[in-house]
Amino acid sequence: MRNRPWNRKRSMILLALGLAMLASACSHPNREGNPSAILDRSDVAAKQVTLRYTSYLLDAAQSGKAYYESIAEFEAQYPGINIEADFIQNANYSAGVKIRLLGGEKIDVFDAWSPSLFEEFRQLRDPMYLDLTGMEFLNDMMPSYLAPVTVDGRVLGAPEVMHSNGLLYNKTLFDSLGLKVPGTWAQFLEVCQTLKEHGIIPISTDSEWSTAQFFWGPIMSNNGADEEWTRKLESGEIPINNPLFVDAIRKHKEIIDRGYVPENWKQLKAEQAKDLISQGKAAMMPTGTWSMLSIKERNPKNEIAFMTIPGETTTVPNINIGTYRVINAKTEYPEEARLFVEFMNGKANQEELSAKALAVPSIVAAQVHDPVMNQIASLLRREDAALYWPHTVSTESLQTKIQEGVNKYLGDGTLQDSLNEIQAAIDELNKTKR
């Protein structure tokens, strides 16, 4: 909870309510369409409503505690609104949300972890999302953060805290061996070889289907693949055997072939891979920066840091919005749902989540105090920072097909068979569009 005196907090609430009442006397926002700059808070305290919030973020193994605390603070600030937390594990999240939406089960606010998943859900129905255009807190965000959830000029989702994908590494171990963060791919291989010669596993990877993308995905950005490139790939203008894609997954295969991963990596799960880092048995792990908290908690004596996977000549930071929070267009309580999103994604709460969950706020003026996260923030706010490549793929289903094809190649399948499988998925997508 934020350490603010109750009287001050109550005064702030009353002031906000007073401003809202004054604004509502002049104009009344269309509850089904574009919200006004100041939401109508005047009637919130006069009734009791329950909003169902569905998310994969409420996981105790990660940073769920921080989200439950934020929910409790929102409920204290708005006693007339009760939040029913609906947690779905990552592996079942996409299917779980679809079942709720298509089956008519109550769901008011929910999360999409990528632009691809946002689009996957959006295709289920029209309209799927409530329009958030005009909400004041969105003005504090970079336009590039809003672009993936802006459709026909309407902002349909709110970015939350940000992450990046690459390698978390045991800096304490690096320092003990005199190792520096590599700046090129050749230097990276040298670091891996040195670690191997010292009996340390260079890269603690695992067999979970989603893990591989955290290694080859950033390399795609290094190679120059951007959203425009991806649209050409999906349209068939660029074939999947394009050098940008082939080079990225071959680099991933190279670290496996060189023995820079655990011998039993095909049997490991992500949590086991984290254990190897915390125990000093492995030096690096391909993942997102959201894993930093759980790795640090395993062994606080180790200093854990982040590096972007280096390219041959260019290393591009990649932006991974932790989640896009959206509102079901069919919610019975649009005004209350907007208040909840405004609170959860606003500056104050993003600063708090940044500190508790180790992340970077998408609010530009928000403060970041953790030194490691501050370094990551400087990367994400660079002009050349690019959207994490797998998230540029138009839908979650196609993104999954691409990942599955790559995983088969990494697991001793042939490169050509994997490329053929991925190309077939892209061709099938184009057939459905015709």
Domain boundaries, the chain: 6-162+321-378, 165-316+395-433
- Predicted local confidence at residue 387, as pLDDT: 94
Full-model pTM: 0.85
How far is 433 from 306, CA to CA, in rounded Å?
40
Q: In the structure, what pLDDT confidence band is assigned to residue 285 with cuts at 50, 70 and 90?
A: very high
Question: 98 CB contacts (<8 Å, ≥6 apart)?
Answer: 121, 124
> Tell me, what amino acid is at 351?
E
Sign of the C-alpha dihedral, residues 317, 320, 322, 323? positive
Torsion of CA 259, 262, 266, 268, to 10 degrees: -170
Out of 17-26, 124-133, 137-146, 260-269, pick the least confident: 17-26
* Statement: residue 35 has pLDDT above 90: no
How far is 308 from 376, CA to CA, in rounded Å?
10
pLDDT digits over 219-267, tens only?
A: 999 999 999 999 999 999 999 999 999 999 999 999 999 999 999 999 9
Q: In the structure, what pLDDT confidence band is assigned to residue 24 with cuts at 50, 70 and 90?
A: very low
- Predicted local confidence at residue 277, as pLDDT: 96
Q: In the structure, what pLDDT confidence band is assigned to residue 144 with cuts at 50, 70 and 90?
A: confident
Average per-residue pLDDT in the chain?
89
Question: 408 CB contacts (<8 Å, ≥6 apart)?
Answer: 417, 418, 421
End-to-end Cα separation, the chain, in angstroms: 52
How far is 312 from 219, CA to CA, in rounded Å?
9
- Asked if residues 234 and 393 have their Cβ atoms less than 8 Å apart, the reply is yes
pLDDT digits over 352-403, tens only?
A: 999 988 999 999 889 998 999 999 999 998 999 999 999 999 999 999 999 9
- Asked if residues 156 and 149 have their Cβ atoms less than 8 Å apart, the reply is yes
Domain range 6-162+321-378, CATH class: alpha beta
At residue 279, what are phi and psi to the nearest 5 degrees?
Answer: -85, -5
* Token pair recorded at residue 144: 């590039």
- Residues 118-135: what's their mean pLDDT? 96
Out of 48-62, 114-128, 292-306, 307-321, pick the least confident: 48-62
The reply to whether 165-316+395-433 shares the fold of 6-162+321-378 is yes
Out of 53-62, 171-180, 370-379, pick the least confident: 53-62
How far is 109 from 86, CA to CA, in rounded Å?
10
* Token pair recorded at residue 259: 């023995």
Neighbours of 418 (CB within 10 A): 21
pLDDT digits over 272-282, tens only?
A: 999 999 999 99
- Residues 125-133: what's their mean pLDDT? 97
Residue that is written with structure tokens 């008011």 in the block: 108
Q: Tell me how far CA of residue 30 lies from CA of 27, 33, 67, 326, in angstroms.
A: 10, 5, 30, 18
Residues 193-202: contacts with CB under 8 Å, at least 24 apart: 193/258, 195/260, 195/283, 196/259, 196/260, 200/173, 200/280, 200/281, 200/282, 200/283, 201/260, 201/261, 201/262, 201/276, 201/281, 201/282, 201/283, 202/255, 202/260, 202/261, 202/282, 202/283, 202/284
CATH topology of domain 165-316+395-433: D-Maltodextrin-Binding Protein; domain 2 (3.40.190)
pLDDT digits over 71-110, tens only?
A: 999 999 999 999 999 999 988 999 999 999 999 999 999 9
- Predicted local confidence at residue 27, as pLDDT: 36
Query: How do 81-87 and 49-55 pair as beta strands?
Result: parallel
pLDDT digits over 183-195, tens only?
A: 999 999 999 999 9
